[in-house]
């Protein structure tokens, strides 16, 4: 059986075929392709990846490999939830506003949770807020996290669909797997 596991906006779709260890992963960006390729490279999985443009064909994938990918995707869901939870956190233990984080998987280092230092924090004028800047040209402004709730929701939907696709594939093809 050939299965399609999707990253992105498309829903999961199952296709019939004779090989049970071949899956197709539909991708929408090069970053999504690199994510899968880096997991394979870092873990030294003995699979064949064929880049077909908008999707990857992964041959000889095992249940353990899919569980590993699923666990990384679950971590990404957790990080996105944490970002959304802290959208209004203006003061952390380290001082300053919460900084958005994301999961990066590289072939060299494996899973990394990285702070987004490229996106600027939001400045909102609120001089009576306890965390308002007291002096200087930004006096009266409050520094809010660099979290865009709409982008986080879109990422959460995309990642959650990928997680569900993997879980569906595992539960349909490995009856002894309990989630």
Please state which of the ranges 2-6, 46-50, 94-98 shows the lowest mean pLDDT. Answer: 2-6
pLDDT at residue 66 greater than cutoff 60: yes
Averaged over 35-53, what is the pLDDT?
87
Q: Is the pLDDT of residue 18 over 50?
A: no
Domain ranges of the chain: 2-173
Residue 4: its pLDDT value, please?
A: 41
Do the beta carbons of residue 106 and residue 38 sit within 8 Å? yes
Greater confidence (85 vs 15) lies with 85
Task: Give Cβ neighbours of residue 115 (< 8 Å, ≥ 6 apart).
Answer: 99, 100, 101
Please answer whether residues 116 and 100 qualify as being in contact, where contact means their C-beta atoms are separated by less than 8 angstroms: yes
pLDDT tens digits along 135-154: 999 999 999 999 999 999 99
pLDDT at 176 over 80: no
Helices 63-85, 30-43: inter-axial angle, 10-degree rounding: 130
As a whole number of angstroms, the distance between CA 81 and CA 100 comes to 11
The per-residue pLDDT for 21 is 66
């Amino acid at each position: 059986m050939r299965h399609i596991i999707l990253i992105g906006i498309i829903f999961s779709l199952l296709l019939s075929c004779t090989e049970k260890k071949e899956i197709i992963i539909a991708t929408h960006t090069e970053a999504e392709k690199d994510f899968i390729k880096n997991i394979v490279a870092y873990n030294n999985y003995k699979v064949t990846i064929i880049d077909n443009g908008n999707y990857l064909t992964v041959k000889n994938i095992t249940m353990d490999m899919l569980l590993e990918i699923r666990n990384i995707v679950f971590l990404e869901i957790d990080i996105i939830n944490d970002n959304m939870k802290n959208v209004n956190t203006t003061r952390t233990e380290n001082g300053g506003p919460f900084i958005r984080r994301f999961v990066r998987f590289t072939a060299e280092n494996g899973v990394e949770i990285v702070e987004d230092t490229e996106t600027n924090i939001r400045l909102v004028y609120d001089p009576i807020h306890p965390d308002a800047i007291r002096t200087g040209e930004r006096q009266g402004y409050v520094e809010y996290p660099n979290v865009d709730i709409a982008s986080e929701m879109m990422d959460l939907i995309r990642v959650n669909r990928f997680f569900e696709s993997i879980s569906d594939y595992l539960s349909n093809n490995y009856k002894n797997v309990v989630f």
